Amino acid sequence: MNAKAKPQTTDANLANAGAVPADNEAALVAAAKAGEISAFETLVSRYERKIYRLAQHITQNNEDAEDVSQEAFLKAFEHLGDFQGNSRFYTWLVRIAVNQALMKLRKRRNKDVSLDQEIETEENFIPREVEDWGPSPEERYTQEEMARILSEVIGELDPSFRLVFQLRDIDELSTEETAEALGISVPAVKSRLLRARLKLRDKLNRYFVRGMVK
């Protein structure tokens, strides 16, 4: 379900600034490791929107999301030497951004935000309403409206569920990568993912039930 090809966002000016072709990620990373800042800028331009959205979803705050994005990219550049290429560059970047966002969240809330606490997953949870959405419910809304709706409903989730859904279904990390990034077990990822999907389905129901007038 998660396999899909999306056009990558690149800034033509930045991409053209370096000698490395913008579509060759391994070469861009190698060039950035060698200190070629224009190559790193191309990587930033490619992922800035996704990293900002990730940070925004975790912190639920635009100012924090901006800070987290800056800090995550800076940290990534400073630690590029640690990136061994065993995972995708984006997966590695996401782990840095998640750590930065969680630190920001803890500071903002002035208390510990624990991800390894036992979460009540309610094994017997049954969705409240089950109604037909029709074939393409999202087409009833503009891209901006959909972005607002999705941001709103995911923001209503408990952070423990929101993070797992964000990494697993939006950023397309594997279950194992999600578990590693969040420092929780694979069964915990699976359990929270199921609950997050069901809760989001319930929340989207109010926008998507077939025949509903916007």
User: What is the contact surface with another protein in residues (CB under 8 A)?
Assistant: 1-2, 4, 6, 9, 37, 40-41, 44, 48-50, 52-53, 66, 69-70, 73-74, 77, 123-127, 130-133, 137-138, 143-144, 146-147, 150, 154, 165, 169-170, 172, 190, 193-194, 197-198, 200-201, 204-205, 208
| Shortest separation between residue 138's beta carbon and another protein, angstroms | 5
| Shortest separation between residue 110's beta carbon and another protein, angstroms | 25
Tokens for 101, please give them. 């966002």
Residue type, 36: E
Find, among 104, 106, 108, 82, the residue nearest to 93 by Cα. Answer: 82
Nearer to another protein, 52 or 89 (CB): 52
| Shortest separation between residue 84's beta carbon and another protein, angstroms | 22
Nearer to another protein, 126 or 213 (CB): 126
Task: Report how far residue 146's alpha carbon sits from residue 81's, in angstroms, rounded to the nearest whole number.
Answer: 39
| Shortest separation between residue 41's beta carbon and another protein, angstroms | 7
Nearer to another protein, 105 or 154 (CB): 154
Nearer to another protein, 27 or 77 (CB): 77
Nearer to another protein, 13 or 117 (CB): 13
| Shortest separation between residue 111's beta carbon and another protein, angstroms | 28
Nearer to another protein, 102 or 196 (CB): 196
HEC per residue, the chain: CCCCCCCCCCCHHHHHHCCCCCCCHHHHHHHHHCCCHHHHHHHHHHHHHHHHHHHHHHHCCHHHHHHHHHHHHHHHHHCHHHCCCCCCHHHHHHHHHHHHHHHHHHHHHCCCCCCCCCCCCCCCCCCCCCCCCCCCHHHHCCHHHHHHHHHHHHHCCCHHHHHHHHHHHHCCCCHHHHHHHHCCCHHHHHHHHHHHHHHHHHHHHHHHCCCCCC
| Shortest separation between residue 53's beta carbon and another protein, angstroms | 4
